[in-house]
Structure 1
Amino acid sequence: MGEPVTRVPSLQQKVQGVLDELVEDGAETGLQVAVHHRGALVVDAVAGVADGETGRRVSPETLFFSFSCGKVMTSLIAHLLVGSGAIGYGTPVVEVWPEFGAHGKAAATLRHVLTHSVGVPAMPGGIGPAGLPDWSRVCAAIAEAEPRWRPGTETGYHSFTYGFLVGEVARRVTGKSMRRLLREWVAAPLGIDGDLYFGVPRTELARLARLEDAAPDAGGSPGGDAVLASWELRPTAAMGNGRELLEADVPSVGTFTARGIAAMNAAVLDGRLIDSRRLEELTAVAFEGTDRVFGNPVRLGLGYPLGRIGTEPDETPTTFGWVGGGGSYVYADVATGTSFAMTKTRLTPHFGAAQRLADLVAAGISS
């Protein structure tokens, strides 16, 4: 924490102006935006309150539980595993996790996990949010699950199963939990220990923003109901504020500061965490098709959807990242050397703020 900012003055001012406007208009209540460009932190802006009950203000050090945006941390650990030589993208999962081969999943590889094409998108075994902290139970249920399609033939968003798939592979080959790997392999080496978490230590809970639900009529609802449970599709503030989930190692979701997650992706882009060959591989098209959960066309790299939010993948093919339920957004762009992150307190059913700010930053960087 406390990284010096080499701001691009006009861009910093423009982003700050949008954040202030969103809060003043009542569209949002609290936000962070951080942007790295070619090795420098050029935007570090906050606005609004972190806790509507106490009036505590958002600061750059405020931690936000940002749902699926945490998958950028999960995918990175998978790439670090490959870089260490512990496993390959083409390695069958059953080589390290034999039980996973049940019901025709023996052909599934790490590549299939990273492209959400294993075929187990929904949390099996009747497990709901309260069961997520029980790592052994969740992984046993996933191992025993019958796939909805033959691994590698289709893709469909693995909302919560994704983190356990990557995490159990990581645990089998390293003997370490995902929260420990995140700290030892990413946060500590980058000097951002305290900014990235799978499972927030109790001593840090006071730094968390308090999430709030948007008004019920603030927008539409996502599809995918036939496959995923409602809690896997529509995150609520109650879920994201619950201590059990916040403290648990559930690496399909994550808690972080915008400054920290942007710094992490900046280190991905500049070669401090992965080499240029692997960066090229993870941003190449690894699967393209129709998402079996949501029904929309998707283009995936290894561990990330490709393209910037609000654009067609062909327009921004070198951009990769994740959106988070409720409207948060994290992306990196190889071509421009840009790493962007936006966290927020209000859980909206749309990504209007994220797209507006991402477009503003992209235009400001290119000008």
Structure 2
Amino acid sequence: MINPNTKVRNVLESLVQDGGEIGVQVAAYLDGKLVINAWAGFADEVSQSPVDSGTLFTAFSLSKGITATCIHILADRGFVDYDAPIANYWPEFAAKGKSRATIRHALTHRVGIPQDPPGFDIDMMCDWDAVCRAVAGLEPLWEPGTRIRYHPLTYGWILGEVVRRADGRSIQQFLYEEICRPLGITDLYFGAPPEAEHRIATLKNVPGLAESLSRMGIPSNHPLRDPAATFNRPEVRRATIPGAGVIVNALSLARHYAMLAGGGALDGVRLLSQERIAIAGAPQPEEPEMIDLRWWTGHGLGYTLGGGSGPRKGLPHALGYEGIGTVGFADPSCGFAFAFLKNLLDMSSNEMDSATRVTEVTMEALGIA
């Protein structure tokens, strides 16, 4: 009988051999134990340097789930109230009609500032103080809390600055000291350290991606017009971008979600109460007339929820996030945590195909219904 890890590795290798992927990596925990650790393909297509378990990937909007965990830790300790105005922690944020925008609004994409600040470019994106000043000065497109529209980048700066104002530490430092170090997570970064840069996989856009983004109206000078080129830049890899710039490997991402799958604890270390996990994973009401733009089936407090199509089909209790073909999630109902990472960027309707296939094979191999 083929063991589960071999079954998963075989499907990863087929994804690469069929030309659908360049480099891929997956890890999974079940009931607090690492049960899958597999990889295939190339970290860099040009040099043909191989992916291994230590290869790091840029995981885009997976960042949002990590950021949410930081907020929930502060909430569990009484330092943050979901229904308190953001301006209670960050007074400058009240400018231009945002005084009533709350932490809950930020976690659920309802603040009203999905747009980029004026003059937004790579330099601003990499300058924490500059981008937070610019975000605080944005005028909301609607009354905060009344509409839902995905906040691709501002989500991270809003909540990351709340962490800094409420706790005193940057979200980068908070992540390391309050999540990574207690759980023994070695490779999860908001801003990769110089010594880790040589392990970061090189991103590549699928043919036509930049042109597709152009047709969507993204300006030629916007950092996301060519996401591979932008996020391959050393200064971007080193920057703190908690809405889209997490650098991580599958082992570390899965271990973070194993803590959530374990009701807030892993290997005897508790970071969140079980009650907090239930609050974070509870579906937030989304009235049809509120929705401007959203792609999730359901949304909790800072996490997308399972139960729809894609990798978490059949897992309605799963909470996590996706990011340009990657996915990480926890399902506390069955103790399952999963991470899938890749370096080929596809934002078409096929974006989640590889992640879905690998999730299905992993669950079948582990006997998860």
Q: Do Structure 1 and Structure 2 share a fold, with TM-score over 0.5?
A: yes
| Equivalences for residues 312-327 of structure 1 within 5 A | 315-325=314-324, 327=325
Number of aligned positions between the proteins: 356
8 Å Cα contact 2:16-2:40 kept in structure 1: yes
8 Å Cα contact 1:115-1:303 kept in structure 2: yes
8 Å Cα contact 2:308-2:314 kept in structure 1: no
Question: Counterpart of 2:143?
Answer: 150
Identity of aligned residues (%): 37
Question: Counterpart of 2:241?
Answer: 250
Call closer, same or farther: CA 1:207–1:312 in 2, change over 3 Å: closer
CA distance in 1, matches of 2:91, 2:209: 47
Once the 2 structures are TM-superposed, how far is the Cα of residue 312 of structure 1 from its aligned partner? 11
Task: For residue 46 of structure 2, give the secondary structure of its aligned residue in structure 1.
Answer: coil
8 Å Cα contact 2:261-2:333 kept in structure 1: no
Range with greater deviation from structure 2 (342-351 or 156-165): 342-351
CA distance in 1, matches of 2:28, 2:280: 21
The amino acid across from 2:184 in the alignment is: G
Question: Counterpart of 2:193?
Answer: 201
Task: For residue 50 of structure 1, give the secondary structure of its aligned residue in structure 2.
Answer: strand
Once the 2 structures are TM-superposed, how far is the Cα of residue 70 of structure 1 from its aligned partner? 1.6
Range with greater deviation from structure 2 (299-308 or 17-26): 299-308
The amino acid across from 1:366 in the alignment is: I
CA distance in 2, matches of 1:292, 1:148: 13
Question: Counterpart of 1:4?
Answer: none
8 Å Cα contact 2:27-2:254 kept in structure 1: yes
8 Å Cα contact 1:287-1:301 kept in structure 2: no
8 Å Cα contact 2:147-2:292 kept in structure 1: no
CA distance in 2, matches of 1:185, 1:199: 16
Q: Deviations over 1:55-110 (max 9, x none)?
A: 21111111111111121211110111111211111111111111111122111111
8 Å Cα contact 2:148-2:293 kept in structure 1: no
Task: For residue 357 of structure 2, give the secondary structure of its aligned residue in structure 1.
Answer: helix
Instruction: Identify which of 101, 109, 131 aligns with 1:108.
Output: 101
Task: For residue 144 of structure 2, give the secondary structure of its aligned residue in structure 1.
Answer: coil
Question: Counterpart of 1:284?
Answer: 282
| Equivalences for residues 56-75 of structure 1 within 5 A | 56-75=49-68
Call closer, same or farther: CA 1:224–1:212 in 2, change over 3 Å: closer
CA distance in 2, matches of 1:155, 1:59: 39
Instruction: Identify which of 18, 24, 40 aligns with 1:25.
Output: 18
Instruction: Identify which of 156, 165, 168 aligns with 1:172.
Output: 165
Call closer, same or farther: CA 1:101–1:340 in 2, change over 3 Å: same
What's the TM-score, normalizing by structure 1? Answer: 0.90
Question: Counterpart of 1:95?
Answer: 88
Instruction: Identify which of 125, 133, 137 aligns with 2:126.
Output: 133
Aligned alpha-carbon RMSD (Å)? 2.5
Once the 2 structures are TM-superposed, how far is the Cα of residue 308 of structure 1 from its aligned partner? 5.2
8 Å Cα contact 1:197-1:255 kept in structure 2: yes
- In the alignment, does 2:75 pair up with 1:82? yes
CA distance in 1, matches of 2:360, 2:219: 32
Once the 2 structures are TM-superposed, how far is the Cα of residue 294 of structure 1 from its aligned partner? 3.5
Instruction: Identify which of 4, 25, 39 aligns with 1:11.
Output: 4
CA distance in 1, matches of 2:23, 2:321: 20
Instruction: Identify which of 110, 115, 126 aligns with 1:117.
Output: 110
Range with greater deviation from structure 2 (109-118 or 303-312): 303-312
8 Å Cα contact 1:332-1:340 kept in structure 2: yes
Question: Counterpart of 1:3?
Answer: none
Which runs of 5 or more structure 1 residues have no equivalent in the other structure?
1-7
Once the 2 structures are TM-superposed, how far is the Cα of residue 311 of structure 1 from its aligned partner? 5.1
Task: For residue 148 of structure 1, give the secondary structure of its aligned residue in structure 2.
Answer: coil
CA distance in 1, matches of 2:133, 2:274: 36
Q: Deviations over 1:206-251 (max 9, x none)?
A: 1111111212289x9579947x768576662111211111001111
8 Å Cα contact 1:308-1:320 kept in structure 2: no
8 Å Cα contact 2:308-2:316 kept in structure 1: no
8 Å Cα contact 1:318-1:334 kept in structure 2: yes
Q: Deviations over 1:98-137 (max 9, x none)?
A: 1111122111111111011101012112212331111122
The amino acid across from 1:301 in the alignment is: G
- In the alignment, does 2:337 pair up with 1:339? yes
8 Å Cα contact 1:154-1:289 kept in structure 2: no
CA distance in 2, matches of 1:303, 1:86: 17
CA distance in 1, matches of 2:146, 2:240: 30
The amino acid across from 1:318 in the alignment is: H
Which runs of 5 or more structure 2 residues have no equivalent in the other structure?
266-270
CA distance in 2, matches of 1:20, 1:312: 19
CA distance in 1, matches of 2:272, 2:133: 31
Once the 2 structures are TM-superposed, how far is the Cα of residue 54 of structure 1 from its aligned partner? 2.1
Call closer, same or farther: CA 1:280–1:295 in 2, change over 3 Å: closer
What's the TM-score, normalizing by structure 2? Answer: 0.89
Call closer, same or farther: CA 1:114–1:341 in 2, change over 3 Å: same
